[in-house]
Amino acid sequence: MNRRGKLALGVLSAIHAAAGFAGFLAPYEPSTQHREHALAAPTRIVLRGLTVTAVLPAPGGTSEFPVRWLRRTEDGWHLFTVDEPGKIFLLGTDSLGRDQWSRLLHGARISLFSGVLAALLAGLIGTVLGLLAGYYSGWCDRVVTQVGDIFLALPWLYLLLGARAALPLDASPLVVLSGLLAVMGIAGWPRPARLVRGMALSLRERHYVMAARGFGAGHTYILTRHILPPVWPAVAEFVCLAIPQFVMAEVTLSFLGLGLSEPAASWGTMLAAFARLDAMTGAPWLAAPAAALALVSLCYRGLLSSGTRRGGGEPERG
């Protein structure tokens, strides 16, 4: 892996780790409202000696509150916070006074991990069906290929819209998210299946596979020892390429109000608040989820183009 790939991997690891520890890194719960600080600009942070201080506007001037590290509140442990009545908003607040930094981290849990889980599901289904079609060929190959062509012809966005329409309007966020993940994973399997099928068709005719078959090796042994290992790098590349697409799908549905809805924190629901004209002109910090989404997509692209799989050749067989 070259320097560019290492940088992309490091940034992605940091972003996903921040999402995983959102409750610790965020000073507030994502639904906590501070109505008196609606659409507040990001808090100015200054260094007073060895003390980090949050500077807040106040009548007749400003008020300063020292940042407290590793504090326990009624919501649990937090990396940083300030004493009441002070507030700290690293990325400002929305129209309801909710901390954008806290919502960005908690929303990353849903948006990022939705993309990862959907891509893994699509890759798993595609790998299994592609192996069956390429290795056994015959009627199995024809069925998998024709069903895959049908799925490729269907617009997957409309499948997601149809799946959301089939769910009750008062369905819990967990039910909605699970349904969308299942549909995204099922709709995305044909592309990895085609890739794996082509590789399996080629690998099954190699001399070491035919030799193993001649020595009495079973189908399971051949698939797991000789066919599957060369296939994994290609499937991993598909997963890395598909994650940003599935993240964008979840963000788009939540932005349109067809995925998760308020008060659930998602990058899509946060961007819906930025779609208003007054927010675009007077609260540019509400666009933070768009910047985070662009950064994640660029990092995945950089990871793929960094030459992480050198040579790409098939491993030698003894």
Residue 307 in this model has a pLDDT that exceeds 60: no
Residue 62 forms part of a structural domain: yes
pLDDT of residue 317: 43
Greater confidence (119 vs 256) lies with 119
pLDDT of residue 187: 86
pLDDT of residue 313: 42
Which CATH number is 240's domain given? 1.10.3720.10
Residue 40 in this model has a pLDDT that exceeds 80: yes
Regarding whether 167 and 239 lie in a shared domain, the answer is: yes
Domain count, the chain: 2
User: Which residues, at least 6 apart from 6, have a Cβ–Cβ distance to it below 8 Å?
Assistant: 306
Average pLDDT of the segment spanning 225-248: 89
Residue 5 forms part of a structural domain: no
Average pLDDT of the segment spanning 211-215: 83
What pLDDT digit, counting tens, does each position of 47-80 carry?
A: 988 889 999 888 778 889 999 999 998 888 999 9
pTM of the model: 0.84
Six token digits for residue 43: 């808090």
Residue 24 forms part of a structural domain: no
Six token digits for residue 72: 């326990």
Regarding whether 164 and 56 lie in a shared domain, the answer is: no
Average pLDDT of the segment spanning 121-126: 94
Residue 87 in this model has a pLDDT that exceeds 70: yes
Average pLDDT of the segment spanning 194-209: 89
pLDDT of residue 160: 76
Mean pLDDT estimate for the chain: 87
**pLDDT band, residue 82 (cuts 50/70/90):** very high
Regarding whether 172 and 224 lie in a shared domain, the answer is: yes
Average pLDDT of the segment spanning 263-271: 89
DSSP three-state, residue 120: helix
pLDDT of residue 106: 94
Dihedral sign from CA coordinates of 299, 244, 279, 90: negative
Regarding whether 189 and 64 lie in a shared domain, the answer is: no
Regarding whether 202 and 67 lie in a shared domain, the answer is: no
Regarding whether 126 and 70 lie in a shared domain, the answer is: no
User: Which of residues 35, 66, 88 is at a domain's end?
Assistant: 88
Greater confidence (115 vs 305) lies with 115
pLDDT of residue 282: 86
Regarding whether 172 and 70 lie in a shared domain, the answer is: no
What pLDDT digit, counting tens, does each position of 127-184 carry?
A: 999 999 998 888 999 999 999 998 888 877 777 778 777 877 777 777 888 888 888 8
Q: Mean pLDDT lowest for which of 27-41, 95-109, 187-201, 210-224? A: 210-224
Residue 35 forms part of a structural domain: no
Regarding whether 149 and 58 lie in a shared domain, the answer is: no
Q: What is the domain range of residue 60?
A: 43-88
CA distance linking residue 213 with residue 119, whole number of Å: 33
Regarding whether 223 and 118 lie in a shared domain, the answer is: yes
Regarding whether 81 and 163 lie in a shared domain, the answer is: no
pLDDT of residue 280: 82
Question: H helices within 137-257, ranges in order?
Answer: 138-153, 156-166, 173-187, 190-203, 207-214, 219-222, 228-255
Q: Mean pLDDT lowest for which of 16-20, 95-99, 280-284? A: 280-284
DSSP codes joined into one string, 36-72: GGTTPPPPEEEEETTEEEEEEEETTEEEEEEEEEEEE
Average pLDDT of the segment spanning 100-124: 93
Regarding whether 143 and 117 lie in a shared domain, the answer is: yes
Regarding whether 84 and 177 lie in a shared domain, the answer is: no
pLDDT of residue 156: 74
